Structure 1
Amino acid sequence: MIICSDIYKDYHVGKVTKSVLRGVDFSINPRERIGLLGRNGAGKSTLIRLIGGVEMPTSGKITRKMSCSWPLGFSGGFQGSLTGYDNARFIARIYDKPYSEMRAFVEEFTELGVNLHMPVKQYSSGMRARLAFALSLAIEFECYLIDEVIMVGDKNFREKCKKHFFEGRRDRALLLASHSLPTVRQYCNRAIVLDNGVAQMYEDVNEAIAVYEAL
């Protein structure tokens, strides 16, 4: 289980303080799939970064009782001067996974070929997304955090991602921030609507989508 308790997140720009999240409370249970809905700038990516440990909340507490992926869609986890292969080797060492297995999976999944020998800073956003997906799928997490990136790439790659996440990992928890309402409706069993820094959980995904569309 992952528990968000009274989460606030503020950003300071000069003398101006912007409150992005205000008292967010919810939990993610094992095997649960939650859609995260909200307009651009509502704080979806911020919330996912907080849960993934990329940033810290201004106040409140996040309790993680199951392993959690880094936020897919967040490129800050890569070392830009390292190649795709070197980043895979680094992740393999952190998670104590044989590099040979990691390398083979990354090669097959990303289909990046010789580009894996290039520094990641030279990758396009789509290439980074492919590498991010491959590295996260190579590690077996109990909860995956996905920030819209599942919609990048060509049709075949999008279908491959959906197959691995939504079919191959049916027993894993998932928090999916997306503007694709059909995807949320098809794969999520609950949904959160973020608006003006406040998160409202809905047990009925269709109800959440109706509220989101009204915004």
Structure 2
Amino acid sequence: MIRFENVTKRYVTDGKVKTVVEGLDLDLPTGRSVALLGRNGAGKSTLLRMVSGATLPTEGRIVTRGLVSWPVGFAGSFHPDLTGAQNCRFIARIYGVDTEELADFVEEFAGIGMHFRLPIRTYSSGMRSRLAFGVSMGIRFDTYLVDEITAVGDAAFRERSDALFATRLETAGAVVCSHAMPQLRRLCDCGIVLELGRAYFHDDVEDAIAHHREIMARLAAA
């Protein structure tokens, strides 16, 4: 469950006040997979960061129940001087899961061979992404946050990644930010459209996609 209680988020950029949402009161049902839609700059990533706790609202509060993930596949929090295995064990301790179980899962899933025991700073971007996705999937969250996830690796790895994530969503919810409508249709059953500081909830993802496309068509016409 994710509850927004009179949530407002503003920030200043180039000397101007930008409002992401204002006075948002909304309950996202437990176990639902929510598509997060909006034009570029509407504040989708900011909203996800608020849900994760990485960014605080300007006013109001967000209440979550259960274990909420960081954005799936995000590799920015790895310590570059620690090995992949050491990073996995560190994250496991933070989230209270078995350290060796998580490390074993990620080593097998990521498939980066001996690099798993080398410092992260020696990794290619693809290896970091594989490791990050493996860690995200290795912890059983109640709600997964997804910000423009891009599968890496060969076709077999991408297929395995899609299948595993779909399995996780059988027993968990998600908030998914993506410009890829087929991905949103595959993963989500409802949606939120952000527009000019307001958030519009649609109980059917197709209605959310239609609303988003109407907004984009108006922008294109203008």
Q: Scaled by the length of structure 2, what TM-score is found?
A: 0.86
- Checking the alignment, whether the CA contact within 8 Å between 1:73 and 1:148 is kept in structure 2 is no
1:202 aligns with 2:202: yes
Amino acid at match of 1:175: V
Alignment match, 1:166: 166
Instruction: Calculate the aligned-residue CA RMSD, in Å.
Output: 2.1
Q: Distance in 1 between matches of 2:14 and 2:78?
A: 29
- Structure 1 residues 128 and 11 mapped into 2: Cα distance closer, same or farther (>3 Å)? farther
Amino acid at match of 1:162: D
Structure (1 or 2) with the larger CA radius of gyration: 2
Q: How do 1:56-205 residues align onto structure 2 when only pairs under 5 Å count?
A: 56-205=56-205
**Deviation at 1:61?**
0.6
Amino acid at match of 1:41: G
Identity %, equivalent residues: 42
Task: Specify every segment of 5 or more residues in structure 2 that has no aligned partner in the other structure, as ranges.
Answer: 217-222
Deviations 1:27-49 (A, max 9, x none): 22222111111222221111111
- Structure 1 residues 210 and 161 mapped into 2: Cα distance closer, same or farther (>3 Å)? same
**Deviation at 1:169?**
3.5
Alignment match, 2:212: 212
Question: Counterpart of 2:212 in 1: which secondary structure?
Answer: helix
Question: Counterpart of 1:75 in 2: which secondary structure?
Answer: coil
**Deviation at 1:62?**
0.4
Question: Counterpart of 2:70 in 1: which secondary structure?
Answer: coil
- Structure 1 residues 186 and 162 mapped into 2: Cα distance closer, same or farther (>3 Å)? same
Q: Scaled by the length of structure 1, what TM-score is found?
A: 0.89
Alignment match, 1:26: 26
Q: Distance in 1 between matches of 2:210 and 2:123?
A: 38
Question: Counterpart of 1:26 in 2: which secondary structure?
Answer: strand
Amino acid at match of 1:52: S
Of residues 89-98 and 99-108 in structure 1, the stretch that sits farther from structure 2 once superposed is: 89-98
Task: Specify every segment of 5 or more residues in structure 1 that has no aligned partner in the other structure, as ranges.
Answer: none
Counting matched residue pairs gives 215
**Deviation at 1:158?**
2.7
**Deviation at 1:168?**
4.1
- Structure 1 residues 61 and 158 mapped into 2: Cα distance closer, same or farther (>3 Å)? same
